Amino acid sequence: MDLSHHFAAIANAVATAAGKPITFICCCLVIILWAVTGPLMGFSDTWQLIINTSTTIVTFLMVFLIQNTQNRDGAAIQAKLDEIIRAGHGRNQFIGIEHLSDDEVEEFRKRCERAAQNHVRKRISR
């Protein structure tokens, strides 16, 4: 396995674990434990630095892991949708529109909306 596959496996595992209720409960317990130790450590700067540094590091790393997971999920969903369009009755012009600018994607969305409204009007007038 190459580095990319190892990273994907780790990112998936961490993202999955981060989304579980037990992870949230454990984080809450860590905060409670930290708060309880405040009087023991005299609410010192070191005591505050422990939680600030810990949460900053975890947040920093999680941003990149979650973004990686979302990027892969989005790309996989897009590939599946492209295959459905290609194999079905959808118009092939929609394949790859995720690479267009925001304005171009918005124009495609508006065209689809107008086509759907026209379809509904035709069915009602029958």
Cβ–Cβ under 8 Å, residues 108 and 47: no
* DSSP type of residue 99: G
pLDDT in tens, 3-40: 888 888 888 899 899 999 999 999 999 999 999 999 99
pTM reported for the whole predicted model: 0.64
Would you kindly state where each structural domain of the chain is located, as residue ranges? Answer: 3-94, 96-126
pLDDT in tens, 90-113: 777 878 888 888 888 888 888 888
CA angle 31, 36, 38 (to 5 degrees): 100
Give the distance, in angstroms, between the CA of residue 113 and the centroid of all CA atoms in the same chain.
Answer: 26
Residue in this structure with the two tokens 């997971």, named with its chain if needed: 69
* DSSP type of residue 2: -
pLDDT in tens, 43-94: 999 999 999 999 999 999 999 988 988 888 888 898 888 888 888 877 778 7
Q: Quick one: pLDDT at residue 92?
A: 78
